[in-house]
Structure 1
Amino acid sequence: MPATNADTGPGLDHGPDPVGLGVMGCADIAVRKILPALAGAPGCGLRLTTLASRSPEKAKETAARFGARAVTGYAELLADPEVEAVYIPLPPALRAPWVRAALEAGKHVLAEKPLTTDPALTAALAALAGSAGLVLMENYMFVHHTQHRYVRDLVTDGTIGELRSFQAAFTIPPRPDADHRLDPGLGGGALLDGAGYPVRAAQYFLGDDLTVLGADLRLHPDHDVDIAGAALLRNADGITAQITFGMEHFYTSRYQLLGSTGQITVEHAYSTPPDHRPVIRIDHQNHQELRTRPADNQCVNTLTRFADRVRTDATDGSATSVAQARIIEAIRRTATPVAKNR
């Protein structure tokens, strides 16, 4: 199967010299996932040094919880000599200028997804990082969970024969009106927020060279964003990928690989809790197998991978993000948006 830049390997032994990390903002994903993972994995190769917020009170309160120095404003974070790398969990529309500022300040960057709201911006930032010898990594944590590498090995080994098609879905229940996902000015919408998961999964198994054959987007009745959608993709070998995404649905986090002699189904594919033991379902003509895999912490794995790349000068990891941004924009261009009735 085609390998992508999302591939991961075992973490390196970082020894006594972890990478100094600064966190830009107190977003929910930072406080709920990244900061606790850092605190609980001192061997991941990163050391939290500084936390910045536009609110002095919020910066002090959050920094105190996780043993960091608090600063007010993001520019002060980038001026901190202890900060070698920056984690940026700002809303999508605010990421690009601060990713650029961090790279221009000589900092490696781990940024939430999507990296930007525009494929040209994504490509430009990737080029800037490459020319500066810096790591720019988009935070799709699920690709660093060992269950997906196991599944890809099954496909490569012919467990389901020749791969014919791929299906994936990521959907979540409706968001409250104040949620940033419903704000077009902050880069809201299901395409930017949710489609990246099934698209990135398709890239993981089919490669980055995916063409959009057709797409559909449904608009929110009260907010100027798309609320749901679907797309049909195809790789250079003619294998298709059907993806579904949305923010008005029953929660779904799944993909399926259909082959000539069987099918593999993975549930809890994208937001897998660290204590969850994944069950890989393999269907054949006359029997079904359920293979339980060990629990794994994809968040810690992601942080370890980022630190590995910083310390080994592996700065060529943005090609998949650039390709994904192109695919997402192609879905937008191809789709005919349909208004949803109230």
Structure 2
Amino acid sequence: MRPQRPVRVGVMGCAEFALRRMLPAMADSPDIELAAVASRRPATAREVAARFGGSPVRDYERLLDFPDLDAVYIPLPNALHAEWVLRALDAGHHVLAEKPLTTRAGLTREAVRRAEGRGLALVENFLFVHHPQHARVRRLLQDEIGELRQMSAVFAIPPRPADDIRHRPDLGGGALLDVGVYPLRAAQHFLGTGLTVVGAALRQGPTGVDVEGSVLLRRADGVCAQLSFGMEHAYTSRYELWGSAGRITVNRAFTPPADQRPDVTVERDGAVRGIALPAADQCAAAVAAFAAAVRDPESCRAAAQRSADLARLTDDVRAAAAEDARHITAAVVPQGPGG
């Protein structure tokens, strides 16, 4: 059998995360050929293409017409995802887009519909779900801690510079879409889809984007997930699964370095033990998984539907937080002169 040729990928935009993590992984992958790099700054496209491979392309529109392109990788600001995800699908390209796939549930559902209708792979780039530690945790969940009673998850990062795009509402900034989607996706991973938002709170920063939040989710059987996130905090990346007989804790859960052994502990019957797991490169695993999805788009249909459900959850979090804010405002009754 002849080996399959690498998937030819065009890169749409030169975001810092793409340069630091994804493009090195793609350049090192035997499954991927970096065919083109597009930027609206020609010098940037030339510089990045010279560094990682492929041809520089002057703008995003021209990338969609680049010859013999199989797929497009989109690391653009959040607010631009929907337009270019849909345009790439309409041009017949498979799509890997950074999270969130789009900023609204209706747009994500439309992207999933178009991908399915055209037989194309549509993948939201959550790296952590490709790390093997979480599959091992699922097995531990069944074998070690009894029936699952509750989950908690936290992801928070230190403050970014004032001009960082995370602070720009016009570009889809804010903690919910930048870091909050990680605990939400982890809750999906362990509790399944169809979760209900019981309550939520978001705090806005001076530019109008949310800078931290908390969410309570509930599964139909009553199991709840308590989630927190923020971008003005000491770095925290952790989840815990509490069961009827024990507890599993995973530290550095969402962004472990490729050379770091997972930090997984199990508490049961008064004893605490660490679980020895090998280090793994979740970025390389995500790149390999996308190449496999391009070769068999049907294999990623369930993941695309989870992305649609996640977008529904983020919309519901916004709605619940807005309702919470209205209740707080209504409860603050100005006092008269007599106090």
Normalising TM by the smaller chain, what interval? over 0.9
Q: Sequence identity, in percent?
A: 50
**Which one has a larger percent helix, Structure 1 or Structure 2?**
2
**Aligned match for 1:203, one of 171, 174, 188:** 188
Q: Please give the alpha-carbon distance, in whole angstroms, between the structure 1 residues aligned to 2:297 and 2:15.
A: 28
Task: Give the AA of the match of 1:260.
Answer: S
Task: Give the AA of the match of 1:25.
Answer: G
Q: Please give the alpha-carbon distance, in whole angstroms, between the structure 2 residues aligned to 1:133 and 1:285.
A: 50
Q: Please give the alpha-carbon distance, in whole angstroms, between the structure 1 residues aligned to 2:2 and 2:74.
A: 23
Task: Give the AA of the match of 2:214.
Answer: A
SS at match of 1:296: coil
Q: Please give the alpha-carbon distance, in whole angstroms, between the structure 2 residues aligned to 1:265 and 1:109.
A: 34
- Asked if structure 1 preserves the Cα contact closer than 8 Å seen for 2:94 and 2:121, the reply is yes
How far 1:236 moved relative to its partner?
1.6
Match of 1:10 in 2: none
Q: Please give the alpha-carbon distance, in whole angstroms, between the structure 1 residues aligned to 2:52 and 2:252.
A: 29
- Asked if structure 1 preserves the Cα contact closer than 8 Å seen for 2:29 and 2:288, the reply is no
* Paired residues, number: 323
Distance change in 2, residues 1:14/1:124 (3 Å): farther
Q: Please give the alpha-carbon distance, in whole angstroms, between the structure 1 residues aligned to 2:65 and 2:219.
A: 44
How far 1:47 moved relative to its partner?
1.1
Alignment of 1:275-314 (within 5 A): 275-314=259-298
Match of 1:83 in 2: 69
Match of 1:98 in 2: 84
Match of 2:99 in 1: 113
Q: Does 1:19 align with 2:7?
A: yes
Q: Please give the alpha-carbon distance, in whole angstroms, between the structure 1 residues aligned to 2:2 and 2:122.
A: 19
CA distances 1:144-184 after superposition (whole Å, capped 9, x unpaired) = 00000000111123x10111000000001112110101000
Q: Does 1:156 align with 2:175?
A: no
Distance change in 2, residues 1:259/1:86 (3 Å): same
Distance change in 2, residues 1:288/1:234 (3 Å): same
TM-score (norm: length of structure 1): 0.92
- Asked if structure 1 preserves the Cα contact closer than 8 Å seen for 2:237 and 2:253, the reply is yes
Q: Please give the alpha-carbon distance, in whole angstroms, between the structure 1 residues aligned to 2:102 and 2:319.
A: 17
**Aligned match for 1:322, one of 302, 308, 315:** 308
CA distances 1:56-85 after superposition (whole Å, capped 9, x unpaired) = 100001100012111100111110122110
TM-score (norm: length of structure 2): 0.93
RMSD, matched Cα? 1.4
Match of 1:167 in 2: 152
Greater RCO (CA < 8 Å, at least 6 residues apart): 1
Alignment of 1:259-270 (within 5 A): 259-270=243-254
Q: Does 1:181 align with 2:169?
A: no
SS at match of 2:155: strand
SS at match of 2:116: helix
Q: Please give the alpha-carbon distance, in whole angstroms, between the structure 2 residues aligned to 1:313 and 1:288.
A: 42
